[in-house]
Structure 1
Amino acid sequence: MIKDPRADRVVTDIQLDGCVIDNCTLSYHQADGSRSAVRNVKISNSQFVGCQLGPARVEDVEITNCRANDLVIAWGAIFSRVKLTGNIFPLKINTVVEFSASVQTQNLYDRSREEFYQSVDWALDLSEARLMSFDSAGIPGRLFRLDPETQGIVKRSKLDSGWEGRIPLCNPWLPWIYNMLSTSDEDVILAVPLAKPKAQRDKYLAGLQELKSLGFVGGTNA
């Protein structure tokens, strides 16, 4: 039940194992664009219940075999050297800090996010994660570490004028591609939901392989 209404909390140098993080909120958006900080934290074999993550700065964090009671949404958070390993809750990373935030406030966070990622060596390592689902915006694809067999990147530059006619309508990754095109992002990460039942993960794996064979998917340097 820990709340962080002033976005001034610093969480650092802790390890949690076998815990329940219950209805905690970290980093409410602020008019001045400030962010709470999370550094050097390891969380394993734990559960998140009703938690909210706002525009925090998250650095040097490892999350291993953690679940949640619902989709975990990161509202405008920024990441550096964050590694996800094992079975991981469904995760969505937004650039929006809060739908009620003013345009001026959102612009402050957008600028600080863009500046942050200019100096980051890598942001997120998904290569050993078995995700329930994953969707992200605002993080350049070059800053991800991925498993080349089950994850990949579609770049906007790969989508020529006739791309829609080349991808079958039944490909499950089309919503990710269309969503990327609705943003200013230059690429989108596709990560097979390995933690889902076999029929579902096989569908997404086949769709990823199809996109690879058509030349739309590559690794971080494609």
Structure 2
Amino acid sequence: MHKHEKEELEYRKIIESPATIADLDFERCSFAGGVVMPPADDPAYELVVRNVVLRRCKAGNVELYGVRFEDVTVDTLSHPKPVEIEACVCSHVVLRGRVGAVHFRPAVDDDARAVLAPAAAKLYEDVDWALDITEAEFSDAELWDIPGHLVRRDPETQFLVHRAAAAAAEIDTLSIDAQLIVERAAEAPYETSVVAAPTRAKSFREQLDALHELRGLGIAE
């Protein structure tokens, strides 16, 4: 592992594939921000970030697209804007401590999604667990692009939502917050998704109540 401590790293764009970023340990470092993505949509996911640790770091605007993350741990990360993780694949990724707003989303572009979504689903067939958020404290979380059954979670605040049950729900009978969750879950790319009530958000109690509402209806567990 190459150790970096209390360093300030400039904004950087990494647009390569195949490429591997590996064996790095950052502690109390500041990243101006950056972009990590392949030059074109790559169904082989040959842009890999592997065996990387971030502890108590700060980051500017960060965009991650089409990356395969393996054995990555982020323990406390402060950043002014949400970390956008679009069309990426995870294996043994841990988020722990205060991590702010984190969005795992499918590719926005329809053509890109048609290429990357089935490739990601195929890769996940060989993953025993993708993401561990049991100790993560979010201000906002979107985890729609990761199969819910591959997410290690705290069942008190992080719920498994079933796509089929969400699609069949009588939406008019639900609270507004529960309706929003059901609408997103019904369109999720995988049969199950994890929805986390963000413990660092002012809306935490309302979102937790909505998830308990859905659990009572068998839509979430």
Q: Mark yes or no: TM-score above 0.5.
A: yes
Match of 2:142 in 1: 135
Aligned to 1:19: 29
Query: What aligned pairs does 1:207-218 form with structure 2 within 5 A after superposition?
Result: 207-218=210-221
- Map Cα deviations across residues 37-92 of structure 1 (whole Å, 9 max, x no partner): 11111101111201211111001111111121101111111000101111112111
1:48/1:9 CA distance change after superposition, 3 Å? farther
**SS of 1:119's equivalent?**
coil
Q: How many residues were matched structurally?
A: 210
- What TM-score comes out, normalization by structure 2 length? 0.86
* Within-5 A mapping of 1:69-84: 69-84=80-95
Between stretches 207-216 and 74-83, larger displacement belongs to 207-216
> Structure 2: which 5+ residue stretches go unaligned?
1-10
Shift of 1:2: 2.1
Given the alignment, which residue of 160, 164, 172 partners 1:157? Answer: 164
* Partner Cα distance (1:132, 1:44) in 2: 18
One-letter amino acid of the structure 2 residue matched with residue 145 of structure 1: R
Residue 3 of structure 1 aligns to a residue whose secondary structure is strand
Map Cα deviations across residues 94-132 of structure 1 (whole Å, 9 max, x no partner).
220x63xx72x5433223201110110000111111111
Tell me: CA distance 1:138–1:215, structure 2 relative to 1, closer, same or farther (3 Å).
Answer: same
Percent identical pairs in the alignment equals: 23
Higher strand share: 2
Give structure 1 stretches of 5+ with no counterpart. none
Q: Quick one: distance in 2 between partners of 1:162 and 1:110?
A: 25
Root-mean-square deviation over aligned CA pairs: 2.1
1:25 Cα offset (Å) = 1.2
Partner amino acid, structure 1, of 2:66: P
Q: Secondary structure at the match of 1:46?
A: strand
TM-score of the superposition, structure 1-length normalised?
Answer: 0.85
Provide closer, same or farther for how the CA distance between residues 7 and 20 of structure 1 changes in structure 2, counting only shifts above 3 A.
farther
Give the direction of change, closer, same or farther, for the CA distance of 1:174–1:5 in structure 2 (3 Å limit): same
Cα offset, 1:93, TM superposition: 1.1
Q: 1:112 to 1:29 in 2, by over 3 A?
A: farther
